[in-house]
Structure 1
Amino acid sequence: MSISGSAKYAEDYQRTNYGARLTLKYSTTTHFQQLTMKHLGKGNLDYLDLHDKNLATHVVTGVVYGAEAFFIFDRAIPDSESKKEISGSLKAIFKKPAFKIEGEAKLNLTKQEKNFVDKLHCKFYGDFHLNKNLNNFDESVKIYRQLPLLLGVNNENAIPKKVWLYPLHLLDNNVTRIVREIPSNLVDYSISTIENLRSLEVRALDSLENSIFTSLNHMKKQLLDFTAQLSEMQRYLKESIALYLPKLRGNTDVKESVLFNLFKQVDSSPFHKRTLESWLEEKEKEITLMTTWIENLAKDRNLDILIKSSSLDEVIDDTRYDYILCLSLRLVEKNDPQLTFMDNYLHNMNNFNSSSARKKHIPWFENSLTMAEIRKNLRQFKEFAEANNVKNTKIRFIVNEVYSFYHIKTVEVNLYNGGSEKEGFIVPSKPDAPYAISVTDNNVTLTWADPATGTEEVRNYKVMYQKHRGKTLVGKNKSKKDEQWAEVYTNANHKKIIISNLPPSSKFVFKVQSITTIELSAISACSEPIETLAKKVEPTTTTSTKTTTTSITTLTSTTTTIKISKFNKWKQNAITVAGGKGPGEELNQLEHPHGIFIDKKKNVFIADYYNHRIVKWKYNAKEGQIIAGGNGKGNRMDQLNEPTDMIVDQQNHSIIIVDFMNSRVIQWVNQNQQILIDNIDCWGLAMDKHGFLYVSDSIKDEVRRWKMGEYNNKGIVVAGGHGEGDKLNQLSYPTFIFVDGDEFVYVSDRENNRVMKWRKDAKEGKIVAGGNGLGKNLNQLHYPAGVIVDDLGQIYVADNGNHRVVRWREGKKEGEIVVGGNGRGSQSNQLSNPRGLPFDDEGNLYVADFWNHRIQKFEIIL
């Protein structure tokens, strides 16, 4: 059914919550016409076949003629005013005498009111034929007062406004009649559902008006997709109502439950009100945070920072710059789960599985560790830009938007040199404030602590100093001469310097700045005022020393046997035993290491994931040797494609490898290869004391076991195997596995954020770590990776997303941090998304430090 005239007003709903609207309605009636029913009586019909065709249920017996018109006045709400104030001003203007049809009242507006109405957006819907469209408020007033004339001299332009209907079945029992009325509660339910969708659409459209979307597009695209799908759902519901209503009101077999089920189905779909509100609220909070960050970076107009989704593409090949420092916003997923579920539902409602809908999760901005890391990177990026805000600089600062990787939302700082990213770069933070370790009458010996991050980028330091002039020269009283700082430089990156030729009995303040391989770091805070000594007649030197005491504890043991106990601890500062030279394919480098194996000689075998090889680092070696793969990415027998795990047989010198992207488990013996298991989405690998091989299948969500040498079968399912899910007999993307002496299987159940223990021949597993949703609390895990179990049954888990290794004792409600847990970073007490996790024979703990491209050894404290 198409509508026109004043009825089109019903389709014009307010499309923003950031505006005020006032609607002026004009309504009039002109005359009434009535019909008699004599010609419809039995035997009086001219067209007898009309009764038999069931084309009508009622006949019109009376019509009231007239016309209606609606004037809509919309006004955007500026930040300086409220909706209540704008609405009040609108009402005050429309109460003026000029808005009466009778009389000749003039529209006398004050200057303030004139400015107000000039900003109104005016629209007209009516049953009148206007010569031109409305353009402004004054024209609306003129047309409003001319409406009676537009009906015509004899009201010939009036239209039917109201009709009286008479049921035909009262004249003839054979005609169609309305059998059922639609219950009012069902009508209300239908209207409420559609109105909720429309309200959320308006809310999302309002979010799109945010100023950041002039620069950033990824989230803008998500919101546009969201509004489009809400609009599509509303259209579908309206079309369904139009289809069902005639059938419900007529004498058909269609029941009311059809309409009820139509809207009930929405409540169990991705279009459920609470689900949509939750998604939109999350986006609104993300927009608020991003707006704050962008405004903070852009408010200082002296800082030349390019903020744009495609900024990297625009400047990556600009030869004017040697370096590009990019703040990468990785906060938006390319294929958002909620939008994907909404789209799948709209296009395949009948086969939609509600169990696959978006699961509850903790938003990234509620993760304190994630937010701490983001704030640190934002602060360091801005400080670095401020420190290098000089003309003709060789470094360009940009803010770029990148889709998130592995569902990890973060903000990173990346350095590009010559068009390529410099892997492992960490922005040098500002050094700590310097302090004196020795003072004489003419010199001061200073030292300072390392910058918290990025020390490997520091070449040397610049030390600045000036006389301390107290509070008399603060702000406006400070002259240019007073603001000048003397500068001296250290040799190499030594954190100690002697400032000589200073006058005696004088106070100075000092500050330090790192000089890096690319530019300058932020400047440290100023030191406390340091006063040189008074000059004495006797040539003596008085030294005032500030002593820093470092406590060194020497550990001794009467036995070399490692006794595992629940009190075992490890040194918190690790030793890098492999890699640590940034990502690369050289023999002293690794790139995203995964699984690790330690033999009795403390040789480290590593699944070098992105280098498509297995490397062996001998004890205390400076570089590794390739023992499998290393012939490029591929599926030949002598090639690997992203290996994730392996087992080394030290007796026959063979190695069994999970060749992840080639979907196979392959054995290498002295450069000869044999495929053991093919066509399997393998990830983790383990072997029990009897030589049975266990493999996790990340797509089938199960772990299978094979007898050594018998791989021509499908194996036996020992964990999972009941499809993806979070029940005790299910897994969701299992990765690393471990098998203990009792043949119990421990599984890192990644997407369920838990570790499961399956006893031999068990029908379901037991949660032994995590299982309380994704998070950073001690009773939670964040995408667990490597898992091992000691002799006491204590479970050690590489808590990947929390950048730590935790220990759980079976039956306990929470774990304890063993190493890491100091935020994501590259310091010796930090990890960055740890993966593989073994012990050596002495109980030292080794960790594959994924994003730092290194293997860390945490020594046990005996």
Structure 2
Amino acid sequence: MSTGTQAVAPGLPQFYQPIEQSTTHAVSPRTVRQVNTSIGRIPEIPGNSLKTLNQRFLVGKVAVVALIFALAVAGVFYGVLVLRSSTTTTTVETTTTTTTATTTTTTTTSTTSTTTDTTTSTTSTTTTTTRTTTTTSVTTATSTTSTSTTSTTSTSTTSTTTQTTITFAPVGIYALNIPTCATWNDTGLTMAGNSNGTLGSDLGSLSAPVSIFVDNNNNLFVADRDNARVLKFVPNATIGIIVAGNGTIGNGSNQLSSPKGVAIDQYGDIIVADSSNYRIQKFVNGSTIGITLAENSTINPLGQMRDLHIDVNNNIYVTDSDNNQVGKFIPFSSIGVVVAGGGPAGPGLNQLSSPFGNFIDPNGTLYIADQLNFRVMKYDPGSLNGTIVAGNGTTGSTAYLLAQPIAVIVDNNGYIYVADYSNGRIMKWTTNYAAGGVCIIGCTGTTGVAATQLRGPRDLKFDRYGNIYITDQANHRIQKFMIQIPPLGCSSESSTLNHSSLVHGFF
């Protein structure tokens, strides 16, 4: 069926459109109006008016499209402008500075001729800089926006440097300040081993002890020869701690064989004359594993080492009785230099005969207990010719004679103290050597196990107060004899030693 189509107002929904009018079935205008009115439709529009309305709608539609296009073009230009001008940079800088602190402390105690240079610490300045840069770009084109952010942070490195200065002097060697009139109680106190003279291998006993060392804190170190170990006894302790060797004879890095010399270097490391292994061992503080510093070889002959000392420059002096000499080992060198004796045994001033103990004063003067020449020799620095300062080369028990002098130390007055082994006594010589010596300990005339007696004194050392520690070897004990000073004191002779360098202790 053919139908006529009436013009429709553009843009109106279908239910707003007028009812179609058939060309074959005429409908009166009145009927159309009644139907449109009954369903809420718009009233009939006359034909001419409808045409005009359609034209207006078409014009309006074109205008709307043109407006939208214009807005789009304007948006593009606006976006370009924003893109060029909307970059924002923000920088935040924070600097934190820690001020450098440098502290230097120097303490000098004149009454004890002690100088201690303490730690100097320098801490570097720490600067932390934080930079944050934020860049924001906004681009608008056809209702599309993009945002980009970039952050950069830089932080400096913190560095700390600490410098420590240590002034070193061997401990257990130099007494601080002993008056010239000082004496010592003749009754000894047992500091290690059994007071009744019995030997043993437990940590409270000793077996043929040899060398001893007393540090600034009064810790006692003992070379326990026949137990192949070095023991440390803290003050007032009767039980020792093994600090070198393991108690079993051997040549392993943790073993010793007949240790006869012990000293502490400036770092707190233990240096041992491992005599029957013909080597010098170092045990780093806290370790029982030894490091060999020097050993017997064709270019560096080392025989039976009887004693070992360290000077203020950390040089090691070893008495080698097999080669009748004293050798010096400078730090980081395994080859020794002969500084006294050498060659065949003899009574000459440039000779030694089975030397045992040695001592080095702060000025580098060397003293040697020349055992089988029955004398003590003194060597000025750099000289191979010595001077007799105790004994006269003949064995005996008078004030002028010695029988197997086996250890020697020197006090701040230049007085010489000698362990007279076979006579079981300790002798003291003043700087007037020709006047002979005086007995100060073990002066009963007999050897024995009593607290007033010695039997084979093998080594002796001062503590920081001037008390004397003695290795009473055949009694397997270490005895301490207290210093005695008159209540009114006494005048002190001027010393040939440099008192200011008698620094006692470093830890």
Measured against the shorter chain, the TM-score band is 0.5 to 0.7
Give the structure 2 partner of residue 817 of structure 1.
439
Which of 180, 199, 210 is 1:566 aligned to? 180
- In the TM superposition, 1:150-189 aligns within 5 A as none
How far 1:652 moved relative to its partner? 3.0
Which of 599, 610, 613 is 2:215 aligned to? 599
- 8 Å CA contact 2:244–2:289 kept in 1: the answer is no
- In the TM superposition, 1:512-661 aligns within 5 A as 563-580=177-194, 582-649=198-265, 652-661=267-276
How far 1:792 moved relative to its partner? 1.2
- 8 Å CA contact 1:684–1:695 kept in 2: the answer is yes
Determine the C-alpha separation between the residues in 2 that align with 1:811 and 1:699.
32
Per-residue CA deviations over 1:315-368 (Å, capped at 9, x if unaligned) read xxxxxxxxxxxxxxxxxxxxxxxxxxxxxxxxxxxxxxxxxxxxxxxxxxxxxx
Determine the C-alpha separation between the residues in 2 that align with 1:673 and 1:723.
32
- In the TM superposition, 1:289-688 aligns within 5 A as 563-580=177-194, 582-649=198-265, 652-669=267-284, 670-679=287-296, 680-681=302-303, 682-688=305-311
How far 1:810 moved relative to its partner? 3.2
- 8 Å CA contact 1:592–1:608 kept in 2: the answer is yes
Which residue identity is paired with 1:577?
M
How far 1:647 moved relative to its partner? 0.7
Which residue identity is paired with 1:824?
T
How far 1:637 moved relative to its partner? 1.5
How far 1:710 moved relative to its partner? 1.4
Which residue identity is paired with 2:226?
Y
Secondary structure class of the residue paired with 2:294: strand
Secondary structure class of the residue paired with 1:835: strand
Determine the C-alpha separation between the residues in 2 that align with 1:770 and 1:858.
24
Which of 425, 436, 443 is 1:804 aligned to? 425
Determine the C-alpha separation between the residues in 2 that align with 1:772 and 1:702.
17
Which residue identity is paired with 1:638?
N
Per-residue CA deviations over 1:254-276 (Å, capped at 9, x if unaligned) read xxxxxxxxxxxxxxxxxxxxxxx
Determine the C-alpha separation between the residues in 2 that align with 1:750 and 1:763.
18
Secondary structure class of the residue paired with 1:785: strand
Secondary structure class of the residue paired with 2:461: coil
Which of 379, 396, 399 is 1:758 aligned to? 379
Per-residue CA deviations over 1:472-504 (Å, capped at 9, x if unaligned) read xxxxxxxxxxxxxxxxxxxxxxxxxxxxxxxxx
Residue 795 of structure 1 pairs with residue 416 of structure 2: yes
Which residue identity is paired with 1:654?
D
Determine the C-alpha separation between the residues in 2 that align with 1:846 and 1:671.
25
Secondary structure class of the residue paired with 2:357: strand
User: What stretches of structure 2 of length at least 5 have no aligned partner?
Assistant: 1-110, 114-175, 297-301, 486-507
Secondary structure class of the residue paired with 2:226: helix
Scaled by the length of structure 1, the TM-score of the pair is 0.34
- In the TM superposition, 1:92-107 aligns within 5 A as none
Give the structure 1 partner of residue 313 of structure 2.
690
- After superposing the two structures, state which structure 1 stretch, 701-710 or 725-734, moved more: 701-710
Which residue identity is paired with 1:675?
T
Which residue identity is paired with 1:587?
L
How far 1:821 moved relative to its partner? 2.1
Which residue identity is paired with 1:672?
I
Determine the C-alpha separation between the residues in 1 that align with 2:252 and 2:405.
31
- 8 Å CA contact 1:756–1:768 kept in 2: the answer is yes
Secondary structure class of the residue paired with 1:735: coil
Per-residue CA deviations over 1:583-635 (Å, capped at 9, x if unaligned) read 01011101111111001111110010111110001100021111111341111
Which residue identity is paired with 2:467?
N
Determine the C-alpha separation between the residues in 2 that align with 1:765 and 1:563.
27
- 8 Å CA contact 1:722–1:729 kept in 2: the answer is no
Count of aligned pairs: 301
Secondary structure class of the residue paired with 2:422: helix
Determine the C-alpha separation between the residues in 2 that align with 1:772 and 1:671.
42
Determine the C-alpha separation between the residues in 1 that align with 2:199 and 2:276.
20
How far 1:716 moved relative to its partner? 1.8
Which of 783, 803, 808 is 2:404 aligned to? 783
Residue 838 of structure 1 pairs with residue 455 of structure 2: no
Structure with higher RCO (Cα < 8 A, 6+ apart): 2
Residue 769 of structure 1 pairs with residue 383 of structure 2: no
Determine the C-alpha separation between the residues in 2 that align with 1:599 and 1:806.
23
Determine the C-alpha separation between the residues in 1 that align with 2:270 and 2:392.
33
How far 1:668 moved relative to its partner? 1.0
- 8 Å CA contact 1:800–1:833 kept in 2: the answer is yes
Determine the C-alpha separation between the residues in 1 that align with 2:112 and 2:379.
34
Give the structure 2 partner of residue 827 of structure 1.
450
Task: Considering fraction of residues, name the structure with more helix.
Answer: 1
Matched-pair identity in %:
38
- 8 Å CA contact 2:244–2:290 kept in 1: the answer is no
Determine the C-alpha separation between the residues in 2 that align with 1:647 and 1:563.
21
Secondary structure class of the residue paired with 2:312: coil
Which residue identity is paired with 1:676?
L
Secondary structure class of the residue paired with 2:356: strand
User: What stretches of structure 1 of length at least 5 have no aligned partner?
Assistant: 1-558
Determine the C-alpha separation between the residues in 2 that align with 1:685 and 1:648.
10
Determine the C-alpha separation between the residues in 2 that align with 1:700 and 1:812.
28
- In the TM superposition, 1:17-166 aligns within 5 A as none
Which residue identity is paired with 1:569?
T
Determine the C-alpha separation between the residues in 2 that align with 1:789 and 1:704.
20
How far 1:778 moved relative to its partner? 0.9
Scaled by the length of structure 2, the TM-score of the pair is 0.58
Closer, same or farther: CA 742–652 of 1 in aligned 2, 3 Å: closer
Secondary structure class of the residue paired with 1:810: coil
- 8 Å CA contact 1:631–1:638 kept in 2: the answer is no
Determine the C-alpha separation between the residues in 2 that align with 1:560 and 1:725.
41
Closer, same or farther: CA 666–563 of 1 in aligned 2, 3 Å: closer
How far 1:636 moved relative to its partner? 1.4
Per-residue CA deviations over 1:397-446 (Å, capped at 9, x if unaligned) read xxxxxxxxxxxxxxxxxxxxxxxxxxxxxxxxxxxxxxxxxxxxxxxxxx
Determine the C-alpha separation between the residues in 2 that align with 1:829 and 1:792.
26
Secondary structure class of the residue paired with 2:207: coil
Determine the C-alpha separation between the residues in 1 that align with 2:317 and 2:475.
29
How far 1:672 moved relative to its partner? 2.6
- 8 Å CA contact 2:112–2:177 kept in 1: the answer is no
Which residue identity is paired with 2:385?
E
How far 1:691 moved relative to its partner? 1.2
- 8 Å CA contact 2:227–2:247 kept in 1: the answer is no
> Larger C-alpha radius of gyration, 1 or 2?
2
Secondary structure class of the residue paired with 2:238: coil
Which of 682, 706, 711 is 2:329 aligned to? 706
Determine the C-alpha separation between the residues in 2 that align with 1:709 and 1:700.
23
Determine the C-alpha separation between the residues in 1 that align with 2:220 and 2:405.
22
Per-residue CA deviations over 1:7-49 (Å, capped at 9, x if unaligned) read xxxxxxxxxxxxxxxxxxxxxxxxxxxxxxxxxxxxxxxxxxx
Which residue identity is paired with 2:269?
S
Determine the C-alpha separation between the residues in 1 that align with 2:276 and 2:320.
12
Determine the C-alpha separation between the residues in 1 that align with 2:437 and 2:270.
33
- 8 Å CA contact 2:177–2:412 kept in 1: the answer is no
Secondary structure class of the residue paired with 1:801: coil
Secondary structure class of the residue paired with 1:610: helix
Determine the C-alpha separation between the residues in 2 that align with 1:653 and 1:763.
31
